[in-house]
Amino acid sequence: MGKVLNDEELHFLGIKAVYKNLVDEGYKVLNVRKELNVNPQILAQKDDKRFFIVVKTERYPDMGILLPHIAADVLKVATQHKGTCKFASVGIANANGTNDVEMAKPEQNGEYYINYKGLQDFPSY
């Protein structure tokens, strides 16, 4: 078994999956921040609208979750800049895993199953 992705590597892999999807859907990506403690991770634009996108990534079988205090902070910044907030929840599994324990350990330079269903609106708390 190879070296398992650490939290930062897992987070960045999720961001890359969302980034690729945004580009494929015609968004212009203006900025990407890969640090774990920086929100939002992606600033993008489409049809003259600015989007503040929070990406959260978890290991299989979990999906990334948007915590209320992060949502509130990003919403405040987006409102100041007349932007729209979106959330990207990503789950990543080791594609070579043969059981739940192995699938929950994505490896560096490995193959992955990526569970991402597109951008979601921010929930209202």
pLDDT digits (tens, 9 = 90+) for 43-98: 999 999 999 999 999 999 999 999 999 999 999 999 999 999 999 999 999 999 99
**What does the domain layout of the chain look like in residue ranges?**
7-121
Helix (H) or strand (E) holding 76: helix 68-80
Q: Compute and round to an integer the Cα radius of gyration of the chain.
A: 15
CB under 8 Å to 45, separation ≥6 — which residues?
Answer: 27, 28, 30, 51
Task: Provide the CA 41 distance to its chain's centre, in angstroms.
Answer: 8
Cβ 59 vs Cβ 106: under 8 Å: yes
Please provide the CATH number assigned to the domain covering 7-121: 3.40.1350.10
Cα–Cα distance between 71 and 39 in angstroms, integer?
A: 9
